Chains A and B, each alone.
Chain A
Amino acid sequence: MTLLEVEGLTKSFGGIKAMQDVSFSVDEGQILGVIGPNGAGKTTLFNLITGFLAPDRGVVKLAGQSITGLRPDLIARRGLARTFQISEPMNALTVEEAVRISAYCRSGINRREAFTVAAEVMERVGLLDNSKKLTSSLTAAEIHRLEFARALAAGPRMILLDELAAGLWPEEQAELVRLVTEASRRDGIAFLIVEHKLSFLQSVADSSIVINFGQKIAEGPPAEVLRNSEVEKAYLGSKE
């Protein structure tokens, strides 16, 4: 069952064509990777899908309903969660508060239930012991887990991961792989993953698309796609 459909997504800034006619889809439970060099348009793609940018042309549909140009918070409430690359989210809030806020995304949830959801999610990602800590005092790896927790707490049907493996040690990365695959298998959550660390991508994604200069230049299983000569050219040999 198709969950996310992106059709003909196009966006220009001034004279620069940041996104040109990009189309792809993600099925329920599928994990799709987005590969591409820096400046290729991956973050623009995420911003367009999650409502932070409005496309010049094109449609984004979630579960058959158009979410193009909708406000980010409304898109989030419809089941599309996202992590951010920013290193200092919600500084003055505690871990528990940051996660609980996302729990309120779930329609009809009350105060007591929000506490419960937050506790469950924190335990799942291994942050329960740190729940009273300020997010400003977390380590980089813990922040990444917090971002994931916030996405999970919203009860989404799909999560967009934005470079979540960046700067992680191998053990931490393996932990993230486990969390993603578990969420996919156990909760049926679909994933759209932007990632530089190809090793991470290859461990989780079933399929992938390659973006360069705002255009989709390849599509297919990661291993296959990475052997594509076009893709190699795009990366100019910078593989991890």
Chain B
Amino acid sequence: MKLGFRYGVGAVILAVVVAAYFSGSVRWTQLVINGLWFALLGAAWNIQAGIAGVLGLGNALFIAVGAYTSIYFYNTYGISPWIGMWIGAGISMVIGVLVALPCLRAGLRGITYVFATFASSQILLFWLLDQRWLGGAGGIRLERIDHSPINFRFTTNEPYLLLISAMLAAVMFFTIFIQDRRWGLYMRAIRENEKSAAMSGIPVLRYQLIAVALSALFTSIAGSFYAQFQMSVSPSAVLSLTMALNTIIFTVVGGIGFVFGPVVGAFGLIALSEIALHLSGTSADFASIRMLIYGASIIAIALFLPGGLMSLFDPRRSKDES
């Protein structure tokens, strides 16, 4: 992929973020934060799917773990979410590996791996619904709001915007960095051909699990951000089929394996639904019209550009190189 395209796309996104930051509009900052958050989910999934070829649908599980732990540890022990999010990340990585290990070992790939991982997230959903100490169906909310950055609380949206941008940028840089190192090469080889990779001395299962763990780590942190930004979390909000699809759809639409795939997919779809807002005017059906446009664009991508939006810039391959 020519670097020029990548810089071009990056510049556009940066411009949007900067514009939102200085716009002073709550609505715009909120919108861009959403877009960046979805992009972060997608970028995290891109590591396991785009680099290592592990296509799971269970990442919503890590959003939930990251969200719940950050709120729970703050409410119960007063531990700052800055620390709580790493506890959540650790738990997420462990669960991620525990779920992925038997599945990958049993040879589940493709759609069966999707089902198995999705099933694991649904099991967590039902378990959370059942746990009264975690709020059951209502979930939990931040109990003390003390407006202090030390506890991840800011009074306006702008710091959150900076934070989510930094998180996304970190994951994207990590993705670029890892492509050419041994870890990344190993994972990319696994994505291409597991047998051939094994013959090159790569312990396939181990690196698939590493990819899953990294994905879990970043997704969990995104979950912690979500919980702190929304100030609450409930099982049905983070473990629904919709959220599960959110973890993958932006990357798929933008282009699996492309570093800028998730962010292009997220902003592309959000932009489309904003256009829908302006077209539909005031009607109460806005939410449905937006979903309609959303669904129609996904259909369009599936039919005409299955490699994702970024593949327009590089039709021969579906992956970036640094």
Contact = CB atoms under 8 A, between A and B. Distances in A.
A42 interface: no
Contacts of B203: 71, 73-74
Nearest to B191: A92
Please classify how large the interface on chain A is, using the bins under 10, 10 to 19, 20 to 34, 35 or more.
20 to 34
A90 B182 contact: no
A101 B202 contact: yes
A51 B195 CA distance: 11
A154 B193 contact: no
Contacts, number: 84
A154 to B, nearest CB: 6
Interface stretch (B114-122, B142-150, B282-290, B311-319): B311-319
A148 interface: no
B200 A92 contact: no
A82 B180 CA distance: 24
Given A92-B318, A93-B192, A134-B317, A101 B186 contact: yes
B199 A100 contact: no
A134 B321 CA distance: 11
Q: For B182, B191, B201, which residue has the most chain A Cβ atoms within 10 angstroms?
A: B201
A76 interface: yes
Contacts of B188: 92-93, 97
Given A92-B317, A92-B318, A134-B317, A76 B199 contact: yes
B185 A101 contact: yes
B201 A154 contact: yes
A76 B192 contact: no
A89 B189 CA distance: 9
B181 A72 contact: no
A182 to B, nearest CB: 22
A125 to B, nearest CB: 16
Given A92-B319, A93-B188, A93-B192, A104 B182 contact: yes
B200 A154 contact: yes
A88 B317 CA distance: 14
Nearest to A72: B198
Interface string B195-218: 111111111100000000000000
Contacts of B200: 73, 76, 101-102, 104-105, 150, 154
A102 B197 CA distance: 9
Contact of B201 (A76, A84, A89, A134): A76
Contacts of A86: 193, 195-196
Interface in A65-80: 71-74, 76-77
B192 A81 contact: no
Contacts of A92: 188, 191-192, 257, 317-319
Interface of A: 50-52, 71-74, 76-77, 81-82, 84, 86, 88-94, 97-98, 100-102, 104-105, 111, 114, 134, 136, 150, 154
The 6 A-B pairs at the shortest CB distance, nearest first, are namely A105-B201, A72-B198, A76-B201, A90-B192, A92-B319, A102-B200
